[in-house]
Structure 1
Amino acid sequence: MEKSLLNLLREGGWILYVRHGEATVGEDQPYIHFQNCYTQRNLSELGRRQAIYYGDMIRYLRIPIRLPIQASPFCRTIETAQLAFGCVPVQIHPFWFEVYQLDKNSLRKEQTFNTLRSILEMKPPKGTNQVIIAHGFPDNIGLGQISNMGTVIVRPLGIGKGYEVLKKLSLEDLAALVSSP
C-alpha cells in the first residue's frame, strides 16, 4: 500500500494539508498581530528541525509541489513553509485563521466548512500537489486533529463535487516511506 501511495503522490493531483511544526508552549495573545510574532506562539527548535526534515523528505521522495505554498498568516506556519521548502513563494491565505478559530467561534462553523470544502475541491495542475500549511482541527471536525508536521492527503474531486481524504500521515509515517524498500 505504501509504495502505491508514493506513486500516487508522485503523479500529482493531491492536496497535502500539513500542520505546522511544534510551537512553543503558551497561548496566542487575544489580539494577535500577524506581523508581530511576539503576539503568538512560534516554532520551537524541535518544530524548526521538523519543518526542515519534512522538506528534505518531500524532495528525497520526489513528490512534485505546486507553487506557491499556501500558509496561514501565523508566523509559525509561514516559518514552517520557509524552512521546509526554502526560498519559494508562500501565499498567505487569511482563511486558515478561520480554521484556527473553529473551536472558539461556533457561529461561523458552517461558513468555514463551506469555504474549506470549496478549497479542498480544487484540483492542482496535473503533475503537481498543492501544499497547505496551517493548523489542526478540533477532534472529529473538518480534517480532525493533526500531529505536528502531520499531513492529510486529500483528493480533490472538482468544484462542487467534494473531496476525499486518502490518508493521514504523521511525520514518522512519512519517514517510513523514505526507508521502505
Structure 2
Amino acid sequence: MRIAVLVALLLWAVSAWSDEEAAWAALREGRAVLLMRHALAPGTGDPPGFVLEDCTTQRNLDQAGRLQAKRWGDLLRQNRITAPRVLSSRWCRALETAEQLGFAPVEPLSILDSFFVQTDRKNEQTQALHMYLRALPGTSPVVLISHQVNITALTGVFPRSGEALILALPISDPPRVLARLSPP
C-alpha cells in the first residue's frame, strides 16, 4: 500500500514538473505570456489621496519585495527567458518590480493599472487587457506586471504578491493557465 501511494505521488510530481516545463517552453517561444502580481509591498491598496506620479504617496515594495523581484529575474534567465518584452502597471510597486527583474526597457501600460479603488473600471479594463493579449503577435516572450484585482478579474485566480501565471496564447475566455508559479 505504501509503495503504491509513493509511486502515485512520484508520478504526480513528474507530471507537474513536465507541465511546468512545457509552460516555460511556451513562454520562451511566444506561445504564452507571464502575468505576475507585483512583488511584496506590505499593506493593502494605497493610502487615501495617493498620487500616481508620486511614489512617496503609494504603497511600495519593501526590501523583501525588491529581493523577490530580483529572484524572478534570475528565474526567468534560468528558464532561458533572456530578453522579454516587459510591460507594467504605472503604479510604483509594479514598475519597481519590473525594473528589478533586470530587463530593459520597461513599458508602462495603463490597462495593467490597479482598479482596486475604482471598481467601476473592472469590466472595461479587463476587456481591454483581454483584447490587448489577443492582439499580441506571439513571437517573443512577454512579461506583464499587474495587481491582484486585475489578475483575478481576468483569470479567476487570486495570486499572492510576487506570484505569476503563464497564460496560453492565443488568449481564450477565460484564459488557459499553463502554470501557476510561486514567488521564488
TM normalised by structure 2 equals 0.77
Question: CA 1:65–1:16 in 2, change beyond 3 Å: closer, same or farther?
Answer: farther
1:150 to 156, 163, 168: 163
Give 1:157 deviation, angstroms.
1.7
Alpha-carbon distance in 1 for matches of 2:169, 2:23: 16
Please identify which structure carries the higher helix content. 2
Question: CA 1:129–1:157 in 2, change beyond 3 Å: closer, same or farther?
Answer: same
Question: CA 1:111–1:85 in 2, change beyond 3 Å: closer, same or farther?
Answer: same
Give 1:106 deviation, angstroms.
4.1
2:7 is matched with which residue?
Answer: none
The reply to whether residue 101 of structure 1 matches residue 115 of structure 2 is yes
Larger radius of gyration: 2
The reply to whether residue 90 of structure 1 matches residue 106 of structure 2 is yes
Give 1:153 deviation, angstroms.
0.9
Unmatched tracts of structure 2, length 5 or more:
1-17
Letter paired with 2:115: Q
2:51 to 4, 26, 33: 33
Question: CA 1:110–1:166 in 2, change beyond 3 Å: closer, same or farther?
Answer: same
Question: How high is the sequence identity, in percent, across the aligned residues?
Answer: 29
SS where residue 109 of structure 1 aligns? helix
Alpha-carbon distance in 1 for matches of 2:124, 2:23: 32
1:75 is matched with which residue?
Answer: 92
| CA contact 1:18–1:132 (8 Å) conserved in 2 | yes
Give RMSD over aligned pairs.
2.4
The reply to whether residue 137 of structure 1 matches residue 155 of structure 2 is no
Question: CA 1:121–1:40 in 2, change beyond 3 Å: closer, same or farther?
Answer: same
| CA contact 2:32–2:166 (8 Å) conserved in 1 | yes
Question: CA 1:122–1:164 in 2, change beyond 3 Å: closer, same or farther?
Answer: farther
TM normalised by structure 1 equals 0.78
| CA contact 2:122–2:153 (8 Å) conserved in 1 | no
Give 1:6 deviation, angstroms.
3.0
1:177 is matched with which residue?
Answer: none
Unmatched tracts of structure 1, length 5 or more:
173-181
Task: Give the count of matched residue pairs.
Answer: 164
**Cα distance per residue 1:141-166 (max 9 Å; x no partner):** 322311222111112226xx654322
Give 1:101 deviation, angstroms.
1.6
Give 1:169 deviation, angstroms.
1.4
The reply to whether residue 61 of structure 1 matches residue 79 of structure 2 is yes
SS where residue 153 of structure 1 aligns? strand
Give 1:139 deviation, angstroms.
9.1
| CA contact 2:89–2:108 (8 Å) conserved in 1 | yes
1:111 is matched with which residue?
Answer: 124
Give 1:120 deviation, angstroms.
2.3
Runs (4 or more) in structure 1 with deviation over 6 Å come to: none
